């Protein structure tokens, strides 16, 4: 796939996400629920995915960990690859509505991957009311982030309902992919040895010492100390999340959806002097503020996290960082809330500039998995909710003859109360609201309040 660099070795950030799977609360699996105007031609779709797996090495690869976690895991060929393990078809009892579909999607998304198989699964769902169908696309974050996942979808989506099937993959391309996938023991050992020295032993020891006692950092003068200051500052942030309602956590999930009009939302953001990203965070904050008021627990501020793309032409499958910020949830007009969030976002991005996900993951590689999962769980408890914004297609899309009517992304929770992810498509901003059922006890209320916040925000476009 053009524009994405697939390495045989995971990046440090991908390796970290893989290790964190030891704790089911920290799963980084994400999904997308596409509503279709009719049932797709399943045989044609299956053939498209078979073709995609031949030209995209990652779809036929499994993860092999390195001894003692001295280096990031590597991708090797699944010698027993079977497309029917990854492309499935089910039917809901008719006439099923979107609530039934979203309940199924929540179960599928929360189900752990078989770690000895490629980490993706697409399920075509028949039987939606009105002759419609759906597709649930589930992937592990080590395969792709939101943006590279959208690019991956170009391998199986068309811009015309009656588009002819693509030509067979070029034999040279397939041969190169198979060569890249070859499970060569010598190369595997070389990768381990190279990775094991990516963080010098002396620095690794300093990392452990400084993480064990962050009070040493201000006075440290070693070469590692400068980069560690901002990183450990974030890792050492144990300030609790603010919500008096989002206090419990579980592995039970519930999915809701909402939609905003792209043009008016962007115009309102511009009129207020900010960006669509700030508009999205403002809508989320306004809704969660009203949620707390309606349930009798108003709160002045909450802690949110925001995914920020760091993608360049040289980026691999994942290229993003996370920033945390306090958002105002007190009694404010929505335009004032927007301006406050705009300033808070700029400050948070600047403060986190020295603590990218990759750099933190590289340092975390020096620590045992048990310590890493404990730190990550501790960090997740400092955040109330998460957001992510992914740009999609402005043109109609089709899958095996069926038109996509809406695309609802389902972002990973990773220990927070809910994740609100946005994917633009065909003049709309489709939002998936993935909630921890123990934390968000009234998910339908939250979804309704997000819709209300959208209506109030777009009035500034006038």
Q: Which residue is associated with the tokens 């500034």?
A: 460
Q: What are residue 2's phi and psi, to 5 degrees?
A: -70, 145
* Res 192: pLDDT: 44
Residues 87 and 226 in one domain: no
Domain shared by 248 and 191, yes or no? no
Domain assignment of residue 309, given as a range:
235-392+417-461
Of 195, 214, 249, at which residue does a domain stop?
Answer: 195
In a domain? residue 408: no
Q: What is the CA radius of gyration of the chain?
A: 22
Residues 20 and 66 in one domain: yes
Residues 110 and 178 in one domain: yes
**Residue 165 falls within a domain, yes or no?**
yes
Give yes or no: residues 174 and 245 share one domain: no
Cβ density class 2-13: b for 16+ within 10 Å, e for less: eebebebbbbbb
Strand partners, 140: 29
Residues 260 and 309: their CA atoms lie apart, in Å, by 22
Decide: residue 345, CB within 10 A, 0-12 exposed, 13-18 middle, 19+ buried: buried
Strand ranges of the sheet holding 385-390, from the earlier edge strand across to the other edge: 253-261, 428-436, 418-425, 385-390, 301-309, 320-328
Which own/partner contact pairs does 62-68 have at CB distance under 8 Å and 24+ positions apart?
62/115, 62/116, 62/117, 62/118, 62/119, 63/10, 63/18, 63/115, 63/119, 63/142, 64/188, 65/18, 66/191, 66/192, 66/195, 66/196, 67/192
Q: 262-271 and 443-457 helices cross at what angle (nearest 10)?
A: 60
Q: How far apart are CA 263 and CA 331, in angstroms?
A: 27
pLDDT at position 230, please?
47
Tokens 């929540």 belong to 106
Domain harbouring 46, CATH code: 3.30.559.10
Contact status, residue 90 vs residue 125, Cβ threshold 8 Å = yes
Q: Is 5 contained in some domain?
A: no
d(CA 27, CA 64): 18
Which of 195, 217, 250 corresponds to the end of one domain? Answer: 195
3-state secondary structure of 446: helix
Measured distance CA(427)–CA(235) in Å, rounded:
39
Left, alpha or beta for 193 (phi > 0: left; psi -120 to 50: alpha)?
Answer: alpha
**What is the distance between the alpha carbons of residues 217 and 382, in angstroms, rounded to a whole number?**
22
**Element (DSSP H or E) covering residue 140:** strand 132-140
Last residue of a domain, one of 208, 234, 260: 234
Residues 16 and 134 in one domain: yes
Q: What is the pLDDT of residue 237?
A: 53
Q: What is the length of the chain?
A: 462
Does some domain include residue 409?
no
Q: What pLDDT shows up at residue 263?
A: 96
Q: Exposed, middle or buried: residue 293 (CB in 10 Å: 0-12, 13-18, 19+)?
A: middle
Structure tokens at 459: 């009035």
Residue 196: predicted pLDDT:
44
User: DSSP E strands: which ranges in 29-131?
Assistant: 29-36, 61-64, 74-77, 87-96, 120-128
> Hey, what are 151's tokens?
């690019």
How far is residue 278 from each of residues 25, 269, 275, 327, 413, measured CA to CA in Å?
28, 7, 5, 11, 21
245, two tokens: 């309602």
From residue 444, give the alpha-carbon distance in Å to each of 37, 452, 454: 25, 12, 16
The per-residue pLDDT for range 351-373, each reduced to its tens digit, is 665 555 566 666 666 666 777 77
Kindly state whether residues 423 and 368 are assigned to the same domain: yes
Is 429 within a domain?
yes
- The CATH number of whichever domain residue 345 belongs to comes to 3.30.559.30
Residue 104: how many other CB atoms lie within 10 Å: 19
pTM: 0.84
Question: What confidence score (pLDDT) does residue 448 get?
Answer: 98
Supply angle C-alpha 111, 75, 207, rounded to 5: 90
Residues 352, 276, single domain; the answer is yes
pLDDT, residue 357, reads 58
* Domain shared by 34 and 79, yes or no: yes
* 371 shares a domain with 297: yes
Helix, strand, coil share (%) of the chain residues, nearest 5: 45, 25, 35
Model pLDDT, residue 108:
97
Structure token pair of residue 23: 């704790």
Phi, psi of 62 (to 5 degrees): -120, 165
Establish if 1 belongs to a structural domain: no
85 with 225, same domain?
no
Based on the domain organization, do 225 and 240 belong to the same domain? no
Q: What is the pLDDT of residue 229?
A: 47
Whether 253 is in a domain gets the answer yes
Q: How many domains does the chain have?
A: 3
**Which pLDDT tens digits describe the chain residue by residue (462 residues)?**
445 667 788 877 788 888 888 888 888 899 999 999 999 999 999 999 999 999 888 899 999 987 666 677 899 999 999 999 999 999 998 879 999 999 999 999 999 999 899 999 999 999 999 999 999 999 998 887 766 677 788 889 999 999 999 998 876 655 455 555 444 444 544 444 444 444 444 444 555 555 555 555 455 555 445 544 444 455 555 577 899 999 999 999 999 999 999 999 999 999 999 999 999 999 999 999 999 999 999 999 999 998 776 656 555 555 556 788 999 999 999 999 999 999 998 888 776 655 555 666 666 666 667 777 777 777 778 899 999 988 888 999 999 999 999 999 999 998 999 999 999 999 999 999 999 999 999 999 999 999 999 999 999 997
Kindly state whether residue 168 falls inside one of the protein's structural domains.
Answer: yes
C-alpha distance from residue 295 to each of 238, 284, 359, 417, 446 (Å):
27, 17, 40, 16, 11
Which of 402, 382, 381, 406 shows the shortest CA–CA distance to 393? 406
Are 33 and 408 contacting, i.e. CB atoms less than 8 angstroms apart? yes
Task: Classify burial at 354, counting beta carbons within 10 Å of its beta carbon; exposed 0-12, middle 13-18, buried 19 or more.
Answer: middle
């Amino acid at each position: 796939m053009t524009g994405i660099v697939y390495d045989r070795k995971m990046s440090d950030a991908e390796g970290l996400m893989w290790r964190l799977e030891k704790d089911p609360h920290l799963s980084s699996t994400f999904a997308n629920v596409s509503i279709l105007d009719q049932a797709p031609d399943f045989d044609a779709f299956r053939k498209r995915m078979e073709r995609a797996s031949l030209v995209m090495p990652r779809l036929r690869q499994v993860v092999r960990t390195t001894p003692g976690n001295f280096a990031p895991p590597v991708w090797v060929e699944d010698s027993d690859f079977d497309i029917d393990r990854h492309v499935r078809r089910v039917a809901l009892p008719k006439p099923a509505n979107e609530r039934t579909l979203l309940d199924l999607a929540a179960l599928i998304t929360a189900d752990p991957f078989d770690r000895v198989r490629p980490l993706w699964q697409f399920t075509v769902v028949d039987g939606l009311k009105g002759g419609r169908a759906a597709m649930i696309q589930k992937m592990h974050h080590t395969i792709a982030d939101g943006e590279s996942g959208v690019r991956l979808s170009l391998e199986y989506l068309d811009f015309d309902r009656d588009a002819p099937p693509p030509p067979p993959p070029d034999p040279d391309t397939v041969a190169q992919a198979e060569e890249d996938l070859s499970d060569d023991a010598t190369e595997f050992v070389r990768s381990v040895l190279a990775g094991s020295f990516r963080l010098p032993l002396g620095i690794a020891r300093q990392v452990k010492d400084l993480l064990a006692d962050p009070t040493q950092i201000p006075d440290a003068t070693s070469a590692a100390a400068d980069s560690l200051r901002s990183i450990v500052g974030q890792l050492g942030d144990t300030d609790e999340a603010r919500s008096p309602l989002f206090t419990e956590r579980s592995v039970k999930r519930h999915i809701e959806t909402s939609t905003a009009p792209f043009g008016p939302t962007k115009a309102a953001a511009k009129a207020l002097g900010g960006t669509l990203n700030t508009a999205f965070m403002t809508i989320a904050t306004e809704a969660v503020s009203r949620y707390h008021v309606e349930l009798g627990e108003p709160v002045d501020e909450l802690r949110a996290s925001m995914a920020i793309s760091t993608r360049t032409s040289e980026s691999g499958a994942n290229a993003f960082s996370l920033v945390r910020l306090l958002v105002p949830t007190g009694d404010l007009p929505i335009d004032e809330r927007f301006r406050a969030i705009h300033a808070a976002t700029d400050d948070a991005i600047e403060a986190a500039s020295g603590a990218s996900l990759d750099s933190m993951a590289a340092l975390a590689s020096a620590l045992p998995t048990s310590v890493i999962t404990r730190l990550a769980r501790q960090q997740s408890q400092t955040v109330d909710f998460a957001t992510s914004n992914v740009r999609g297609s402005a043109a109609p899309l089709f899958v095996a003859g069926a038109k996509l009517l809406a695309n609802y992304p389902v972002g990973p929770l990773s220990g927070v109360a809910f994740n609100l992810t946005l994917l633009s498509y065909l003049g709309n901003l489709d939002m998936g609201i993935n909630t921890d059922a123990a934390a968000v006890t009234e998910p339908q209320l939250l979804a309704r309040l997000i819709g209300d916040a959208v209506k109030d925000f777009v009035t500034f476009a006038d």
